[in-house]
Amino acid sequence: MTTAANRRIGMQLPRDLPASQVVDFARRAEHLGFDELWVVEDLGFRGGIAQAATVLAVTSHINVGIGILPAGARNVAFAAMEIATLAQLHPHRLTVGLGHGMPDWMREVGAWQSRPLSFLRDYTEAFDKLLRGESVTATPHLDANVPQFEERPEVVPPIVLGVRGPKSLIAAGEVAAGVVLAEPASPEYIAASIELIRRRRTSSVEPLIITYDIAAVAEESSAARDVVRPSLAVVGEPDWQPHISPLAFASELAALRAGSADSAEFASRIPDEWVGSLALAGTPDEVRAGIASRHAAGATTVVLTPVGPDPRRALEDLAQVFQ
């Protein structure tokens, strides 16, 4: 629906959407005008590559993003082969996200690296070389000696990193086309992240900034806020500090979490005026304005994460931002 390369709107495929509804959801998102559809790979749900392959096969033009593939879970050569195949079959329609993964999940499956950021840097560089038809030699952090591929895509998909925190954002600026900024991605967080990404960036190409935000549209603002509020429970946890620290109410939010018995109580007590920074929730006009503010802060694609009991209904509601 949008036209400018740096003003795109995406939809996230819910990780727990029943398998029988995935194809219909993807086709409907394309029909409604979303520029991109992002699939997620969360432990215990569904694989990112399998979802992306399915969505690409049943749609005709929507861009598909994978956000993200945990690098430690896959050998770099075989992961690159999978992505190269998708890029050959569906040129110009794929963006691939890599990351070190959620530490607890990666430790559970024995795939957490001793130096995760160094490993991710070397993995990303090797991944990109293989897609471009170059060979790869081992590094101190990546044990891989891979000859150049016989089959490789003519159009190499952009690689973006799912990262947070100053060091990882700086590294992303050096080795990747851009980043995936998980929710909440307020304009303040986007701007602060871009500043870090550009700190040692040598490429003259502006970075891709993909943002996720929990989203809901309703006729009454209060109804939309009620829908997103339970999903905001995680933002008070330590891992989300980089997202929260640029906000004017960061210290007050931390105090609210400390004074709440649990995450559910914390979410229920978040003031209405803060919800607009922590999610995209409100009337169509209000959500449209929130998307515009994220684009203005530098987001390339604002990805809406639907919440609530009926994902298909949420998809239809969120499409009102195009009207």
pLDDT higher than 50, residue 3: no
Instruction: Please state the pTM of the whole predicted model.
Output: 0.96
Percent of the chain with pLDDT over 90: 92
d(CA 269, CA 237): 15
Is residue 184 reached through a cis peptide bond, with omega within 30 degrees of 0 on the bond before it? yes
Where residue 182 sits, what CATH number does that domain have?
A: 3.20.20.30
CB 209, CB 190: distance < 8 Å? yes
- Residue 269 belongs to a domain: no
d(CA 110, CA 272): 41
How does pLDDT run across 270-311, given as a tens digit for each residue?
999 999 899 999 999 999 999 999 999 999 999 999 999 999
Q: Amino acid identity, residue 196?
A: L
- Residue 196 belongs to a domain: yes
Extended strands (E) in 218-300: 280-282
For 227-241, letters b (16+ CB in 10 Å) and e give: bbbebbbbbbeeebe
CB 239, CB 161: distance < 8 Å? no
- Residue 141 belongs to a domain: yes
> Any bridge partners for residue 178, and if so which?
160, 208
Number of domains in the chain: 1
Domain membership of residue 30 as a residue range: 8-224+274-322
- Residue 147 belongs to a domain: yes
How does pLDDT run across 133-150, given as a tens digit for each residue?
999 999 999 999 999 999
- Residue 244 belongs to a domain: no
